[in-house]
Structure 1
Amino acid sequence: MVGLLIVACEIGFWLFILVGLTLRYVFRQKKWGAFFLICTPILDLILLAATYLDLRQGAVASVIHGLAAVYIGVSLAFGHQMVKWADVRFAYRFAGGPKPKERPKYGKERSVYEIVGWTRHLVSYVIGAGLLFGLSYLIQAPERTEALIQLARVWGMVLGIDFVISISYVIWPKKHPQNIAS
């Protein structure tokens, strides 16, 4: 059940964004557009409550339950950025807005981009791992919530790998091809 709810929440997230941006730019209904965009965090609360209730009713935690916490962490840390990304493209396509900027490919700009991305990943980890440990604590049944703790550990390793990759762009910034010949 929780797995399907995660999929439904992800679909709902993008539907709320699509409806909100369509109302904002195509139909010029800024208030209604904002309403739908603001509704996206409600999906996170629904998912968190459903996961908690499922575990509270005796379900043994699985990776799927853990993914609910991961989804919420990523949604909260990256959600605004994803909405902004979609907003800029909608504004360009339907409202004559400026052409969206591409992500930086070289130099200091790329380094900053990578570190900001890693920082968002760190924030999502703190939120998601906090939820994983919090759910485990609230359920008070370590034998049923071990999968949650294990997922937090694996995610921590992924975060470490992401840090090494991101910091490599700071230590060895990729040079623009025009600057290599110089």
Structure 2
Amino acid sequence: MIVTLIVAAEIAFWLLLALGLATRYLLRLRRVSTVLLVGLPVTDLVLFLLTFLDLRGGATASWTHALAASYLGFSVGYGPSVVRWADARFLHRFAGGPKPLPAPKYGRGRSRYEWAVCRRTLVSVAITLTLITVLRLFTDAPGSAVFDQWYWKLGIAAVVNTAIAVSYTLWPKQPPADAIVEDGRIVGRRIPERADR
């Protein structure tokens, strides 16, 4: 049952995102669009509540229950950035907006970008682990020891993301020598000076 709910939540997430952006830019119904986009974390909250009820009803805990909890963690940690990413591309493709900028690759711009990703990961991990702990403590479900591996996996994800952000801060990637860089992105190339003949 939980696998079916996870698949339904995944489909609902992308469907609500597409409908929300289409409503905003094609139909120009901003309030309706906002309601649809607010539905993104609500969908994952409903999935978590159904997961909780499933375990309270006597289901044996499995990795799918922890995955359902991670959906809500992802929605809170990464949801706003996913919406911004999709919004910029939808605006460009269907409403004549500017071309979205790529992620910064060099210097402080890349360091700031990696720390932003790290913050999102840490928020997502903290929420997911809290929700898994709630499932473990308040459902008394058999087999809840399966949740232990999620503490390790998510802990490793948090450490790796932090290490990546630290590495880009201490050893920033340098652009090519002839590159003109703004906020970590190459915006042009320097023309080499010609030697006088």
Considering the TM-score relative to the shorter chain, is it more than 0.5? yes
- 1:37 maps to 37
Q: Tell me, in whole angstroms, the C-alpha distance in 1 between the residues paired with 2:132 and 2:167.
A: 30
User: Would you say the 8 A contact 1:23–1:33 is kept in 2?
Assistant: yes
2:152 is equivalent to residue 139 of structure 1? no
Q: SS at the partner of 2:98?
A: coil
- AA of the residue aligned to 2:99: K
- 2:147 maps to 148
* Offset from partner CA, 1:86-136 (integer Å, 9 cap, x none): 111111122222211110011100011001101110000110000011110
Q: Tell me, in whole angstroms, the C-alpha distance in 1 between the residues paired with 2:108 and 2:10.
A: 33
- Bigger strand share: 2
Instruction: Number of aligned residue pairs: give it.
Output: 179
Aligned-pair distance for 1:155? 1.2
Q: Which stretches in structure 2 are left out of the alignment for 5+ residues?
A: 180-197
User: Would you say the 8 A contact 1:69–1:132 is kept in 2?
Assistant: yes
Q: Which runs of 4+ in 1 moved over 3 A?
A: none
Q: Tell me, in whole angstroms, the C-alpha distance in 2 between the residues paired with 1:152 and 1:125.
A: 9
> For the aligned residues, what is the CA RMSD?
1.5
- Bigger helix share: 1
Aligned-pair distance for 1:63? 0.9
Superposition pairs for residues 11-50 of structure 1, below 5 Å?
11-50=11-50
Aligned-pair distance for 1:179? 6.4
2:53 is equivalent to residue 53 of structure 1? yes
Q: Which stretches in structure 1 are left out of the alignment for 5+ residues?
A: none
- 2:112 maps to 112
Determine what percentage of the aligned residue pairs are the same residue.
42
2:156 is equivalent to residue 157 of structure 1? yes
User: Would you say the 8 A contact 1:132–1:149 is kept in 2?
Assistant: no
TM-score normalized by the length of structure 1: 0.92
User: Would you say the 8 A contact 2:2–2:64 is kept in 1?
Assistant: yes
- 2:100 maps to 100
Q: Which moved more, 1:169-178 or 1:143-152?
A: 143-152
- 2:185 maps to none
Q: Tell me, in whole angstroms, the C-alpha distance in 1 between the residues paired with 2:47 and 2:105.
A: 36
- 2:171 maps to 172
Q: Tell me, in whole angstroms, the C-alpha distance in 1 between the residues paired with 2:74 and 2:41.
A: 12
